[in-house]
Amino acid sequence: MLDIKLIREDTDKVAEALKRRGTDFLSDLKKLDALDNERRNSLQHSENLKNRKKKLSAEVGRLKKEGADAESQMEEVKSINLEIVEWDAKVAESEIQIREILLHIPNIPDPSIPDGLDESGNEELRVIGERPAFDFEPKNHVELAEGLDMLDLKRAAKIAGSRFAVYKNDGARLLRALINFMLDVQCDENGYQELYPPFLVNKESMTATGQLPKFEEDLFVMRDDDLYLIPTAEVPVTNYHRNETLADGDLPIKYTAYTPCFRREAGSYGKDTQGLIRQHQFDKVELVKFVEPENADTELELLVADAESILKKLGLHYRVVVLCAGDIGFSATKTYDLEVWLPAQGCFREISSCSSFGDYQSRRGNIRFKRKTGKPEWICTLNGSGLAAGRLFVALLENYQRADGSVAIPPALRPYLKNREVFEI
RNA sequence: GGAGAGGUGGCCGAGCGGUUGAAGGCGCACGCUUGGAAAGCGUGUGUAGGUUAACCCCUACCGAGGGUUCGAAUCCCUCCCUCUCCGCCA
């Protein structure tokens, strides 16, 4: 949520900055400004009346104590009350409209990110490692996994529908190993605290991180309980501190969490229908940070490095991309994507998305921090995948495959797989 | 799901329906005292919104939302959460 005061004071500048996303919000901002004026005007009326009311009521108390008559004062308060109700209703109405509009306006893109309206505007920052060389035609992950009896997509479709998977045997074991490996690295080497949060969350949580109210159609919703399946651990973990004021001495706070993620993938019909790339349910180890504003930029770089550390340990070839203003998510101000090389597809594929949100989420969720002296301030939130386990599964199989359909296990992962060196039939 | 108890400031803990934004204590900050420290003494110490150049001032907030009343932390209703007991259950 943007700061109404900022909008009030610099409407044009905010509009200009938002325009980089490819949508013009100027009329919304002007409407906000008008509503805000109305609100403050009504509030003045209401507060003046309340002040008068307070004084009169106190007078009634005094008069009654003395045994004097207070009828006229009581009558005046009664009539004032009617006016107060009217003005308060106007205030409330303005506030509701303001909030409704604010909740639908995305975050302002960071000035440092490139212009562009879609992913073609993204910029490659660095490429790490090298493409593996194959002296045979590399298979895709589905062929490999099914060949090794690791995966059963057919029965998954029977059980739940398309875009679901059953991992089996070494597949299930590998997935489990990847999750444990990533959690261990983030906790033991990168200094994150592990959380295991609820997979269902309420409306307030979804609103704070920005999934609601605008993207309800992307979520799985419980029919009878006003709860939503999380699309990412970002939601429960960021909301861990909703409506709290943290001490600056505790910052930065760094959490990692494994959760499954549930996405309806509405609007992506036909995209990535093969295999594990785009599923309704997938597993992810998430990284979430709460930091002071002046450290947000540095902390984002560190977060990316923490996500990268997994890819490096596994010896995977990848690149880092900074997203352009038109391609960042609704709540984000700056985003780096990590894209891993997939030999069978012959392209880089997103495996992590690391974003800085400024105070956008903390305003929505009322998450603040307090320095030793001074007023509470909005905290800055960051998060990123560290990493998506399903896609990492794909990357490992495709990159470490051998001509006979077996798959080598990189050394870093072997302790999690009984020190085996290869998956084979 | 049923029965009971409870939710007050950073924490503990008072609070007859009428200067209670809220006693008292702890904690914290600053000052005095001291060779230094502790103790002691003094002062201060919530948040949000409005207004202002700023200070002041005004309004709201005692789990949340309604209601009664001239006036509600105090009375009534609904909901949420916590604890105890029962039921159910991996």
Per the DSSP assignment, residues forming a β-bridge with A337 are: A321, A353
Residue A69 has pLDDT above 90, yes or no: no
Residue A187 has pLDDT above 90, yes or no: yes
Å from the A363 CA to the B77 C1': 33
Q: What's the CA angle centered on A102, arms A99 and A106, to 5 degrees? A: 155
Distance (Å, whole) CA A257 – CA A282: 14
Å from the A378 CA to the B9 C1': 21
Cβ neighbours for A72, distance < 8 A, ≥ 6 positions apart: none
Å from the A47 CA to the B71 C1': 17
Of all nucleotides in the shown strands, which has a C1' nearest the CA of A43?
B50
Å from the A262 CA to the B7 C1': 35
Å from the A67 CA to the B16 C1': 19
Tell me: the pLDDT tens digits for A81-136?
Answer: 999 999 999 999 999 999 999 999 999 999 999 999 999 999 999 999 999 999 99
Cβ neighbours for A30, distance < 8 A, ≥ 6 positions apart: A11
Per the DSSP assignment, residues forming a β-bridge with A291 are: A380
Nucleotides of B under 7 A from a protein CB: 18-19, 47-51, 58-60, 70-71
Give this complex's ipTM.
0.88
- pLDDT confidence bin for A189, thresholds 50/70/90: very high
The continuous run of DSSP H or E covering A376 comes out as: strand A376-378
Distance (Å, whole) CA A351 – CA A312: 13
pLDDT of residue A271: 79
Of all nucleotides in the shown strands, which has a C1' nearest the CA of A375?
B47
Query: Residue for token digits 């030999």?
Result: A343
Query: Which protein residues, judged by their CB atom, are less than 7 Å from any atom of strand B?
Result: A 5, 40, 43-44, 46-48, 50-51, 53-54, 56-58, 60-61, 64, 70, 73-74, 77-78, 81, 368, 370, 375-376
List the strands of the sheet with A123-128, edge to edge.
A123-128, A318-322, A334-342, A347-356, A380-388, A281-291, A253-262, A193-195
Asked whether A185 and A177 are in contact (CB, 8 A), the reply is no
Å from the A169 CA to the B33 C1': 76
pLDDT of residue A192: 97
pLDDT of residue A249: 82
Distance (Å, whole) CA A222 – CA A241: 24
Of all nucleotides in the shown strands, which has a C1' nearest the CA of A377?
B47
**Secondary structure E strands in A240-346:** 244-247, 253-262, 281-291, 318-322, 334-342
Tell me: the pLDDT tens digits for A312-357?
Answer: 999 999 999 999 999 999 999 999 999 999 999 999 999 999 999 9
Give the distance from CA A156 to its chain's centroid. Answer: 28
Quick one: DSSP state of residue A411?
A: G
pLDDT of residue A65: 82
- pLDDT confidence bin for A248, thresholds 50/70/90: confident
Helix residue ranges, H only, A201-295: 203-209, 234-238
Tell me: the pLDDT tens digits for A353-411?
Answer: 999 999 999 999 999 988 877 788 999 999 999 999 999 999 999 999 999 999 999 99
What structural domains and CATH numbers belong to chain A? Answer: 4-102 (1.10.287.40), 119-423 (3.30.930.10)
Of all nucleotides in the shown strands, which has a C1' nearest the CA of A76?
B70
Asked whether A309 and A287 are in contact (CB, 8 A), the reply is no
Å from the A63 CA to the B71 C1': 13
Asked whether A356 and A300 are in contact (CB, 8 A), the reply is yes
pLDDT of residue A94: 92
- pTM across the whole model: 0.94
Of all nucleotides in the shown strands, which has a C1' nearest the CA of A70?
B70
Listed as own residue / partner, the contacts of A83-89 with beta carbons closer than 8 Å and 24 or more positions apart are: A83/A45, A83/A49, A84/A46, A84/A49, A84/A50, A84/A53, A87/A42, A87/A43, A87/A45, A87/A46, A87/A49, A88/A42, A88/A46
Of all nucleotides in the shown strands, which has a C1' nearest the CA of A58?
B18
Distance between the two ends of chain A, CA-based, in angstroms? 53
pLDDT of residue A66: 84
Query: Which residue is closest, via its CA, to the C1' of B71?
Result: A57
Å from the A167 CA to the B73 C1': 57
Residue A261 has pLDDT above 90, yes or no: yes
Å from the A232 CA to the B4 C1': 40
